[in-house]
Structure 1
Amino acid sequence: MVSLPEELQAREAAARQRVQELEAEVAELALRLEKAREDLSRLEITRETVVQVLAELSAAEAEPEVPARDAPEPNETTAPHGVGVMMVPPWREGLVVAVLPDVYRDIVEIIADAQGPLRAKQIVPRIGLPTTTGKIEGTRGKLKRLVERGWLDEDAPGQFTLARRGPGRDRANS
């Protein structure tokens, strides 16, 4: 017959062994998860870059050729190799929302589906972000950029709607 202390010691050793095995599995899964996250991040960046390049090529094809003597000074829209590349192109006739980076596209689609003007703090949870001050301010910056580039209008301070386009507008790309 085995004594109670010996039996408890044997069970403790078995439990300790199981804990070590599970900790090893957790460590392996953590490494696999980190690798998967890196792969996802690279794919997202690649897709966003391709969308950007396609949008720029589309914009370049739509613009008339400028003679060399009238060439504009280099700026964020003409810089080579992605240096200073404009992520949110100015709206123009025929340009679709798909050319925008994901978060900007999501914002425009949310505003398009809304019954009326929306504020940044109403948009943040709809794009899957926590409603912290930093996320709200970051989203407000994106909204302002979309207004600058003609995708949205800000009818009243902080209230954003889809841009109304057409004759009689006093702002370009609005």
Structure 2
Amino acid sequence: MVSLPEELRAREAAARQRVEELQSEAAELALRLEKAREDLSRLEITRETVVQVLAELSEAEVTGPDVAAGDVHEPDKASVPHGSGVTMVPP
């Protein structure tokens, strides 16, 4: 028959092992989460840049080719971007 102190030590060792396993899993998940956040951030920035460029191109078409690139006004956020062969995908 196993004594109570021996049983408690065995259970403590098993619990400690489980904690270490979970800590390892948590560290791995934290790294994966950080990478996913970085990927998301890059995609958001790319989408925002594409929308801005398309809006500027649309405004340049409206104002005419004689307007210098530096003279183009900030596009109205409500304006619809235009781009030949470009499909806008909602976020």
Q: Same fold (TM over 0.5)?
A: yes
SS in 1 for 2:51: helix
Which residue is equivalent to 2:86? none
User: Bigger radius of gyration, 1 or 2?
Assistant: 2
Matching residue's letter, 2:76: P
Deviation (angstroms), 1:42: 0.3
Q: Evaluate the alpha carbon distance shift between residue 10 and residue 91 of structure 1 in structure 2; reply closer, same or farther with a 3 A threshold.
A: closer
TM-score of the pair, normalised by structure 2: 0.76
Cα deviation digits, residues 92-143 of structure 1 (max 9, x gap): 9xx33x68xxxxxxxxxxxxxxxxxxxxxxxxxxxxxxxxxxxxxxxxxxxx
Alpha-carbon distance in structure 2 between the residues aligned to 1:41 and 1:91: 21
> 1:61: how far off?
1.1
**1:90 and 2:76 are equivalent in the alignment:** yes
Distance 2:2 2:51 in 1: 71
Count of residue pairs the alignment pairs up: 82
Distance 2:39 2:4 in 1: 52
Q: What CA distance in whole angstroms lies between the structure 2 residues aligned with 1:60 and 1:14?
A: 69
Q: Structure 1 vs Structure 2: percent identity of aligned residues? A: 70
Q: 1:12 to 1:26 in 2, by over 3 A?
A: same
- What letter corresponds to residue 3 of structure 1 in structure 2? S
1:63 deviation in Å? 1.0
How far apart are 1:91 and its partner, in Å?
A: 7.1
Alpha-carbon distance change, 43 to 32 in structure 1, aligned in 2, over 3 angstroms: same
Q: Is residue 2:18 matched to residue 1:18?
A: yes
User: Residue 65 of structure 1: SS of its match in structure 2?
Assistant: coil
What is the TM-score normalised by the length of structure 1? 0.42
The two structures, once aligned, show a CA RMSD in angstroms of 2.7
Give the helix-richer structure, 1 or 2. 2
Structure 1 residue ranges without an equivalent (≥5): 79-85, 100-174
| Residue 60 of structure 1 pairs with residue 46 of structure 2 | no
Runs in 1 of length 4+ with deviation above 6 angstroms? none
Hey, what's the Cα distance between the residues in 2 that align with 1:65 and 1:57?
10
Where structure 2 has 5 or more consecutive residues not aligned to the other structure, the ranges are 83-91
